Amino acid sequence: MSSARQVAADIIGRVLNGESLNQLLPAALDAVADGQRPLCQELVYGTLREWPMLQGIIDRFVKKPLRKKDHDVLALLGSALYEFTQLSTPKHAVVSETVNTVRLMKKQWASGLVNGVLRSFQRAESLSAIDLAPAQRRALPSWLDTVIGQEYNDHLEAIAEASRHRPPMTLRVNQIHSERDAYLSLLTDAGLSAHPLDHLCNGITLQQPVDVTALPGFSDGLVSVQDGAAQRVVDLINPQPGERILDACAAPGGKACHLLERQPGLKELVACDASPSRLQRIVENSKRLGLNPTVVEADARALPANLSSPGFDAILADVPCSATGVMRRNPDIKILRRAADISQFAEQQLAILQGLWPALKPGGRLLYVTCSILDAENDGVVKAFTQQHNVDITPIVMERGIARDCGWQVMPEVEGGDGLYFSLLCKPAD
């Protein structure tokens, strides 16, 4: 078994070299002893959430940039600084364990460098005394800090702060099998503190996150883990008995299953995704919950003709996006995402709307959803679409968030939900 710090440094270093955290983490954690996995995961997620700031600190103490092949050393430095600033590990232990990890990595040449940087950081009077750019202090990439500042200047600090914290663990009670009050009692009996979310009829937030295996009745389908903002999808679509509904980018299936839980009387719920491996997640989730969606491999930009006929009463288009509203869950985007990516996402999103619109019945509704906070992917895409099609936009108002021209933007909050954008498009009846 490898040490938690060594594995964390390897994962972060590979992210710095362009790899995706979601693809790296599960297999990498297998190399860590069970008791060390929480520390490894904390170091990985915490360091990546803080990376723009940590990189800025390192740059002040390391005059010569490290080579790409030594990004694991750079990552180790960053994770040690994260321990210094955010965790309760004694500082002398952080220094000794980090220097020892350099040796385990067989990069003894870096021992002096690592020791010197950490000692220099210790000697700094405070983090505020270190010369950092405003974006670095907010732990945001400079390009993203600029864009958010232009679009949401009054919310910039709050958005940045939310991106640096662990998300709360929010649950969705399966109303087919249980009621929220009854499930809250089960949580109390299990010694888990939680509170209901007033604006969600099935929503509960735990005081402290736990492994899903600790949730009463999880394997029996009593409950699912789902962010509070994401649970608003079902309220907005408002599924009715006898309707045929399409979840066009459905994996891993949380929203599709929620639609079936809310309205068991649907004629059909079709859950499609372009990725065969991701489709399996829909099958697994729906089986656990005792639900039966029609699962189809399909690209939302070009639906098969047999799927589009006779058409859908409602379509959910939770489209691929920059994930700038869920950076705390996907902290590697602070490193991997580039400004040029946004226009590419917008093109894909518009193509998905173009592909789905013919499958919507006259009088039907399409809910466009992103986990982005950027206008180019949200109002910008909807406005481009409405210039080409006859569309009625239904106004959306929620208890939290910001009204946009074509929809509603829920902002990410430290103790609240993720940053999601919603726009409800209706096709005029013939």
Provide the pLDDT confidence category of residue 360 given band limits of 50, 70 and 90.
very high
Which H or E run contains 232? helix 232-237
Q: pLDDT value at position 1?
A: 63
185 in the Ramachandran plot: left (φ > 0), alpha (ψ -120 to 50) or beta? alpha
Q: How confident is the model at residue 364 (pLDDT cuts 50, 70, 90)?
A: very high
More confident residue, 85 or 351: 351
User: Left if phi > 0, otherwise alpha if psi is -120 to 50, otherwise beta: which for 129?
Assistant: alpha
Instruction: Say which residues have a Cβ less than 8 Å from residue 181's Cβ, sequence separation at least 6.
Output: none
Average pLDDT value over all residues in the chain: 95
**Helices of type H across 30-127:** 37-49, 51-61, 71-86, 91-104, 111-123
Residue 43 phi/psi, 5-degree rounding, is -65, -40
In this prediction, residue 127 carries a pLDDT of 78
The active-site residue, picked from 249, 257, 371, 406, is: 371
Mean pLDDT computed over 395-412: 96
The segment with the largest mean pLDDT, out of 27-36, 110-119, 226-235, is 226-235
What does the pLDDT look like over 207-218, one tens digit per residue?
999 999 999 999
Closest-CA residue to 204 (of 238, 235, 181, 230): 181
Q: What is the pLDDT of residues 43-97, one digit of tens each?
A: 999 999 999 999 999 999 998 889 999 999 999 999 999 999 899 999 999 999 9
Point out which residues pair with 269 in neighbouring strands: 245
**Domain residue extents for the chain:** 4-132, 170-225, 232-426
Phi, psi of 104 (to 5 degrees): -60, -30
Q: 32 pLDDT exceeds 90?
A: no
- Domain 4-132 annotated CATH 1.20.1070.10: no
Give the per-residue pLDDT at 29. 86
402 C-beta neighbours (distance < 10 Å), count: 15
139 in Cβ contact with 162 (< 8 Å): no
Whether residue 310 has pLDDT greater than 80: yes
Q: Supply the pLDDT for residue 303.
A: 94
* pLDDT, tens only, 233-243: 999 999 999 99
Residue 6: CA atoms inside 13 Å, Cβ hemisphere, count?
15
pTM summary value: 0.95
Determine what percent of the chain is predicted with pLDDT higher than 70. Answer: 100
Question: Residue range 2-9: average pLDDT?
Answer: 92
Instruction: Report d(CA 122, CA 400) in Å as an integer.
Output: 41
Q: Residue 244's pLDDT is what?
A: 97
Tell the CATH topology of 232-426. Answer: Rossmann fold (3.40.50)
User: Could you tell me whether strands 244-247 and 312-318 are parallel, antiparallel, or unpaired per DSSP bridges?
Assistant: parallel
pLDDT 10s digits, 100-124: 999 999 999 999 999 999 998 988 8
pLDDT band at 4 (very low <50, low <70, confident <90, very high): very high
Other Cβ atoms within 10 Å of 64 Cβ, number? 6
Cα–Cα nearest to 146, from 367, 342, 393, 360: 342
Which tens digit of pLDDT belongs to each residue from 121-178? 988 867 777 889 999 999 999 999 999 999 999 999 999 999 999 999 999 999 999 9
Looking at domain 170-225, its CATH superfamily turns out to be Sun protein; domain 3 (3.30.70.1170)
Neighbouring-strand partners of residue 246: 270, 315
What pLDDT does 20 receive? 95
Which of 22-26, 331-335, 340-344 is least confident? Answer: 22-26
Residue 371 annotated among the catalytic residues of the structure: yes
- Burial (CB < 10 A; 0-12, 13-18, 19+), residue 186, is middle
Beta bridge partners of 314: 245, 365
